[in-house]
Structure 1
Amino acid sequence: MPSPNSDTTGDGGIHIRNVSHRYGKGDNEVTALGPVNLDVDPGAFLVLVGASGCGKSTLLRLIAGFEAPSEGQVQVSGSAPSPGVSAGVVFQQPRLFPWRTVGGNIDLALKYAKVPRERRAQRRDELLDRVGLESTADRKIWEISGGQQQRVAIARALAAETPTFLLDEPFAALDALTRERLQEDVRQVSAESGRTTVFVTHSADEAAFLGSRIVVLTRRPGQVALDLPVNLPRTGVDPDDLRQSAEYTELRAEVGRAVKAAAA
């Protein structure tokens, strides 16, 4: 883990200091998270992994600015996070507008991102091409598969030139083959864009494949049980070769053991 003096104030750097978060009041109050301290360098791909209910999605929402911590401080690029400004976010469900076309969903995101009207068509096509959906701009949402819908959600989140990209178990509802393909796409997009990425999952396999750094959280209230840098190559390697490598197998096993221990 970087030291507290690490430079996390640049574009996409994330600084989390003494953060705890509680839900409810009085006898119904539950501490979901904390205390947590993390510094995430710009351009890193951080995977938050742990059992259900450990607070990983809560931490993601705090980074996104959807909620404020009960205690402590969260900063993204040197400032308190602002919803829709600090980061693009992808959820478990695509949450697309069904009355708009694929391209229309992207166009709306570009409008909110204040991309000039004359540049939107080109930018929309670039985004769809990046996620493997070229020539689909005129398709209706219900005409494309669940995996393709999640690709649209990823493209929409990339529409704004935010330095940070947040994904909350985006592939949980997809079949195994589609999930693997989208993992490969997100890994590539992250490497190409240079954005700081935070990805939430409960899967040790997914964490090992995606992360340049893996943080395992304990059961509620979630705290850091393991903070592990990953030395697997980020580019220039075939995904199947990577998944079959001894280094990947060892990493996946280590993360799996840590998740089970942290949930005990």
Structure 2
Amino acid sequence: MRIEIDNVAKGYPRADGSRLSVVGNLSTAVEAQEFVCVIGPSGCGKSTLLGLLGGLRRPDSGEIRFVGERGADGPLTSIVWQDYALIPWRSIVDNVAFGLELRGVSARRRREVAREHLAMMGIEAFADAKPHELSGGMRQRAGIARALASDPEVLLMDEPFAAVDAQTRTLLQDELLQVWSRNRKTVLFITHSIEEALLLADRIIVLGPRPTRVVEEIRVPFPRPRDRDVELDPRFTELKRHLWAQLRDATLAAEWAEAKGER
């Protein structure tokens, strides 16, 4: 499923009656089965963009199009959040099955599918546990399993590994690469980590300060299947340095605008 973002703008009203422009006439595209990471300075509108793609918000102007043949049953998009967003009183298997329940899938079938996806994420043994009984990494694995269990055309991920420790983040990145290599969903992945973007993505979209627009799009040159050996490639260091310069300039521009009262 290809995503086309055509001149999209989004803003919010302020308390003083003015309007805060967050996304400003942004245009880009994500190809079918492509893994795209989005980076940009804090507060630039990355999560707002993801909400627009997920149908949680409507653009003020412009158009978002999903182009391609739709599956018979699955949703168009599923979202994996940074804070897990699991229902605390439900078991893990029932959390993963929740989207299927909303679609009217039988109890037996939705639990089968949920357990299959928990097994895929390596946490089937914790299917009957409650979210508070799991570590942060396990809860995020459950969140990914829930998103994939509905068989979406597009997987949207909003800094999904930001709340876990460094070791768990490394494991989750490796597991996500393995899962994506099997199902090849179209993925848009928001991150603050340049290293994470270079490890995961086919292409990186760099956003500028709000009202955010695309500053640059970079094709990641490392072949797939991909592992952490790419970090030893001299091009990894060169791209990391280049992307950091872009982020630094965008962050300084945002701070300067805020200091002048333009934000």
Does structure 1 residue 14 correspond to structure 2 residue 16? no
- Aligned to 1:93, the other structure's residue is in SS state coil
Does structure 1 residue 182 correspond to structure 2 residue 184? no
Match of 2:261 in 1: none
Displacement, 1:78?
5.8
Letter in 1 for 2:107: R
Match of 1:167 in 2: 157
Displacement, 1:223?
0.6
Write the distance in 2 (CA, Å) between the matches of 1:113 and 1:233. 38
Q: How does 1:13-32 map to 2 (within 5 A)?
A: 13-24=2-13, 27-32=17-22
Write the distance in 2 (CA, Å) between the matches of 1:172 and 1:28. 32
Does structure 1 residue 225 correspond to structure 2 residue 218? no
- Aligned to 1:18, the other structure's residue is in SS state strand
1:101-125 CA-to-partner distances (Å, cap 9, x unmatched) read 1112112232124434342233122
Contact 1:23–1:32 (8 Å) recurs in 2: yes
Q: What TM-score comes out, normalization by structure 2 length?
A: 0.88
Displacement, 1:133?
1.1
Write the distance in 1 (CA, Å) between the matches of 2:90 and 2:125. 16
Match of 1:7 in 2: none
Contact 1:164–1:196 (8 Å) recurs in 2: yes
The structure 2 residue matched to 1:261, chosen from 249, 255, 259, is 249
Letter in 2 for 1:241: D
Write the distance in 2 (CA, Å) between the matches of 1:172 and 1:145. 14
Q: Larger deviation: 247-256 or 123-132?
A: 247-256
Aligned length: 247
Match of 1:212 in 2: 202
Q: Larger deviation: 44-53 or 130-139?
A: 130-139
Contact 1:45–1:198 (8 Å) recurs in 2: yes
Contact 1:216–1:262 (8 Å) recurs in 2: no
Contact 1:169–1:200 (8 Å) recurs in 2: yes
Write the distance in 2 (CA, Å) between the matches of 1:106 and 1:113. 13
Does structure 1 residue 157 correspond to structure 2 residue 147? yes
Q: How does 1:15-94 map to 2 (within 5 A)?
A: 15-24=4-13, 27-77=17-67, 85-94=75-84
Displacement, 1:176?
0.8
The structure 2 residue matched to 1:243, chosen from 224, 227, 231, is 231
Q: How does 1:76-115 map to 2 (within 5 A)?
A: 76-77=66-67, 85-115=75-105
Write the distance in 2 (CA, Å) between the matches of 1:78 and 1:24. 35
Write the distance in 2 (CA, Å) between the matches of 1:133 and 1:250. 37
Write the distance in 2 (CA, Å) between the matches of 1:174 and 1:41. 29
Contact 2:8–2:26 (8 Å) recurs in 1: yes
- Aligned to 2:215, the other structure's residue is in SS state strand
- Aligned to 1:97, the other structure's residue is in SS state coil
1:130-173 CA-to-partner distances (Å, cap 9, x unmatched) read 11213221222222101100110110111111110000011111
Give the % identical residues: 37
- Aligned to 1:48, the other structure's residue is in SS state strand
Contact 1:113–1:159 (8 Å) recurs in 2: no
CA-based RMSD of the aligned residues comes to: 1.9
Cα distance 1:206–1:113, how it changes in 2: closer, same or farther (>3 A)?
farther
Q: What TM-score comes out, normalization by structure 1 length?
A: 0.87
Contact 1:89–1:157 (8 Å) recurs in 2: yes
Q: Larger deviation: 97-106 or 87-96?
A: 97-106
- Aligned to 1:158, the other structure's residue is in SS state helix
Letter in 1 for 2:222: L
Write the distance in 2 (CA, Å) between the matches of 1:228 and 1:115. 41
Write the distance in 1 (CA, Å) between the matches of 2:169 and 2:68. 33
Contact 1:21–1:69 (8 Å) recurs in 2: yes
Q: Larger deviation: 218-227 or 249-258?
A: 249-258
Write the distance in 2 (CA, Å) between the matches of 1:227 and 1:106. 34
